[in-house]
Structure 1
Amino acid sequence: MNIICIIPARGDSKAIIGKNIIDFCGKPLIAWTIQQALGSHYIKDVYVSSDNSEILTISEQYGSKLIERPKDIARDESTSEEALIHAITQIEKNTDETIDLVVFLQGTSPLRDSNDIDSAIDTFIKDDLDSLFSVCDLKDLMVWRNIDNVLQSVNYDYKKRQRRQDIQQQYGENGSIYIFKPEIIRKHLNRIGGNIGIYLMDSWKIHEIDNKEDIGICEYFMNIKNLVKINES
């Protein structure tokens, strides 16, 4: 089975300048995701898709193959799906190989290891899925939503104030791991579709780096959970 990994990494980040290559636990941020993918027993090739030459240079230094992303799909309003479809098309064109599965990893979600990736792939294959995404358990959270300025409880009845263990099961998409068949994203223009499954991760792996405050939080968990050592072994 030909399984590849694609890591989209746009150069123009507003909240944190150069976010994908900031120093994070002693390496460029994107390097952690590249090395996690390279450590997988299933993934054949790892590709970084970017419009930024510095990101591409650093990614190659850490063992990734490169996809130069056109500027017209690297704008603020561009979607990850556009980058993924472009990358898949370029890989198929350049390698003349059929891609069976795509593992999509976000370079701004460093709180994972190679075992997470392989366990997610195992789940995908075992459950005969078309797409899969990683989640964290939200059962410890009492979730509310605001509809037209009216607050509604989502996963519990606030009038009865249930025990936490009795609250309805809810999952949060944590953005760490996505797996899909190429035909799914081409048909639905979405990474999720068909027979959908999930891979449950530890609750602290819900954190990702979107703004400066997230950096310290993720570095804390990288160190206290020994992920720095695990990902370097």
Structure 2
Amino acid sequence: MIRICTICARAGSKGVKNKNVRNLQGKPLIAHTVEQAKRSQLFDCIAVSSDSQQILDIAQACGVDFLVNRPAELATDTAAKLPAIRHCVSEAERKSGFQFDVVVDLDATSPLRLPEDIQEAVSLLERQGIGNVITGTPSRRSPYFNLVELDENQVVRLSKPLRQGIVRRQDSPACFDMNASIYVWQRNVLFNCETVFNPDTQLFVMPAERSVDIDSNLDFEIVELLMEKRLDQ
């Protein structure tokens, strides 16, 4: 198997300004993900895609194999991520001269994953011969029990009521939060899908303490605390 790791990091961020280059434990946020990819020892190459020269300079200093300038139309607030990943893979293939079998995208805003998580997610894909794997963590709220929404009359309703009601959350079907940490594809599936949900998509479950995705300053503070705790152990 020829494997590539892509890390796609835009310059803009609404929740946390310049979060991909913000200092975390003495290094830019994106550097943690590059290091995890390297330590997994899975990849024939690592490519970073960005519309930010600062991010690309950091990636180069971290020793990635390919720097990919992301087109402006793939770096807007409304742009989907899959086209950016496909563009990154295509550019890396053009520069390297060979085609990859497996594509692993790591989100720079999920720095608490371990190299072992990457290894196990990739192993799940290759062992099962499936099209793609996403990662998640057990949900703290259940649409069957304590996740609600408002109807057209602004009346509170359970999001996904069961025909026979339940009185304990433990009795509800298992639900998971996507943690935006690791996405694994067979290359042909990535280039022929428009969603991460496919007929044979499987879930690799990660613990909550490795599943914080930074979307706010509070998330960043939580990640800092969890990293400090990890270093103290």
Using structure 2 for the length normalisation, give the TM-score: 0.89
Counterpart of 1:178 (choices 171, 179, 183) is: 183
Equivalent positions of 1:60-75 (< 5 A) are: 60-64=60-64, 65-75=66-76
One-letter code aligned to 1:93:
R
Shift of 1:5: 0.5
Q: For residues 2-51 of structure 1, what are the alpha-carbon distances to aligned partners after superposition, in whole Å with 9 as ceiling and x for unaligned?
A: 11100100012222221100001111000000000011132221111001
Measure the CA separation in 1 of the matches of 2:107 and 2:14: 17
Other-structure match for 2:33: 33
What 5-or-longer segments of structure 2 have no aligned partner? none
Task: Tell me: CA distance 1:158–1:54, structure 2 relative to 1, closer, same or farther (3 Å).
Answer: farther
Alignment-mate amino acid for residue 144 of structure 1 = L
Partner of 2:213: 208
Aligned length: 227
SS in 2 for 1:221: helix
- Give the superposed CA RMSD: 2.2
The answer (yes or no) to whether the contact 1:209–1:215 under 8 Å persists in 2 is: yes
Partner of 1:51: 51
1:89 is paired with a residue of what secondary structure?
A: helix
Deviations 1:126-181 (A, max 9, x none): 1111000001012775442425344115487895412x433321111111110012
**CA 1:191–1:87 in structure 2 vs 1: closer, same or farther (change >3 Å)?**
farther
Whether 1:94 aligns to 2:95 is yes
- Counterpart for residue 194 of structure 2: 189
User: What residue number does 1:83 align with?
Assistant: 84
Note closer, same or farther for the CA distance 1:192–1:90 as it changes in structure 2 (3 Å cut). farther
Q: Distance in 1 between matches of 2:111 and 2:94?
A: 30
Q: 1:144 aligned to 2:147?
A: yes
Q: Which amino acid aligns with 2:187?
A: P
Deviations 1:199-219 (A, max 9, x none): 110022331111111111011
